[in-house]
Amino acid sequence: MKRRACLGLLLVAGLTAAATANAGTYPDKMVRIVVPSIAGSAPDIIARQVAERLTAVWKQQVIVENEAGGNGIVAMSALRQSAPDGYTLGIFHAAAAVTTPVMYKEARFDIQRDTEVAATLAYTPMMFVADPKSGYTSLADVLKAGKSRPDDVTIGSPTRGSVPHLTAEMMAQLQQARFRQVSFSGTTQAIQAVVKGDVPVYVDGIAPLVPLVRSGRLKALAVTADTTLPGLEDIPLAKDAAPGLVAKGWFAVFAPKGTPVAALDAINAAVGTVLSQPAFVGRLKELGTYPMPQSRQRGERFVQAEKVRWEKVIRDAGVKAE
């Protein structure tokens, strides 16, 4: 028995030493990144840009696998079922990470319980726009109408449970106004509706809206940033009309729960290197996003705060899980 016990201890010690050594040389083989979106979508483009640059930093191939479906459920399932060794990561946007578990009954994951936050990548503020023929020239106009004519003002958003949708819900809660919320099956369909005048007011991330605003096809009402951002200096801040209305979509790198700290630190450091590259920052700006480098600890606190915030908005709006 003693001999077996000693052999067991030696085996455990050997495995621990091997894990420590592997963590110290991480990564020493290919790294896989799963994304919850189709090829060519904004999350996919950002993930592939990150993968290309991580490959250069690590001198190890980093590939992207699209696991679209279920509003992030499929991709999260793939991540959760992967070994917690740092060689399978996930790049998730805010809705897939923190609102899907509340909005959909099939989502049986919890981002804090099931994953580690390795790094935050980037963020994009929301923008409220209006059909130029709607008569709305400011966000204050929309709020006034939402208070005087409850449920008579329609605000469109790309999809149910998305950050744009919940941003409109949050605005209504902050201002004690009521709007008719109309969610579409995606940004393309939604923008077609607002451009045609079928929806008077619309909210989405800034990337697909700025060109339409610059061309005069849509009227920019406000952007939900905390401070004025480069290139958007002429657009009012939403918080000036609705105090507290600061909201953003974001992208972060997650790893399975239990991934070694050394690997997580290496990922965070490598992502920080990528986010400091001017060419990458320029590419993000083209996609309407801005770099968001943070330590792992701050990233964890950020994701936790976002989870609590959007859960409250969903609960207060009375939105039921499907």
In percent, the amount of the chain with pLDDT more than 90 equals 82
- Rounded to the nearest angstrom, the gap between the alpha carbon of residue 142 and the centroid of all alpha carbons in its chain is 26
- Looking at the chain, the whole-number percentage of residues with pLDDT higher than 70 is 93
- Average pLDDT (19-40) is 82
Q: What is the pLDDT of residues 42-65, one digit of tens each?
A: 889 999 999 999 999 999 999 999
**29-124+249-317 and 125-241 share one fold:** yes
Q: CB 318: neighbour CB atoms within 10 A?
A: 7
pLDDT at residue 21 in the model: 37
Q: What's residue 319's pLDDT?
A: 86
Q: Which residue has the higher pLDDT, 232 or 171?
A: 171
Beta-carbon count within 10 A of 14 CB: 10
Q: How confident is the model at residue 24 (pLDDT cuts 50, 70, 90)?
A: low
Q: How confident is the model at residue 275 (pLDDT cuts 50, 70, 90)?
A: very high
Question: How large is the average pLDDT for residues 293-305?
Answer: 97
Nearest to 293 by CA among 319, 312, 274, 316: 274
Cα 181 from Cα 102, distance rounded (Å): 18
The mean pLDDT value for 196-208 works out to: 95
Res 2: pLDDT? 42
Longest Cα–Cα distance in the chain: 85
Domain edges within the chain: 29-124+249-317, 125-241
The CATH fold of domain 125-241: D-Maltodextrin-Binding Protein; domain 2 (3.40.190)
Sorted by sequence, the CB contacts under 8 Å of residue 155 that are 6+ apart come out as: 142, 168, 179, 180, 181, 182, 199, 201, 202, 203
Residue 142 has pLDDT above 80, yes or no: yes
pLDDT of residue 320: 85
Residue 177 pLDDT more than 80?
yes
Q: What is the mean pLDDT of residues 263-272?
A: 98
CATH of domain 29-124+249-317: 3.40.190.150
Report the mean per-residue pLDDT for the chain: 91
The number of residues making up the chain comes to: 322
Give me the residue label for tokens 């899980």. Answer: 321
Residue 129's pLDDT band (cuts 50, 70, 90): very high
Mean pLDDT value of segment 69-89: 95
Instruction: Give the closest residue to 270 by CA, choosing from 22, 47, 54.
Output: 54
Report long-range pairs for 214-220 (Cβ below 8 Å, ≥24 apart): 216/132, 217/132, 218/129, 218/130, 218/131, 218/132, 218/194, 219/129, 219/130, 219/131, 219/132, 219/134, 219/136, 219/137, 220/127, 220/128, 220/129
**Res 18: pLDDT:** 38
Q: Is 168 helix (H, G, I), strand (E, B) or coil?
A: helix
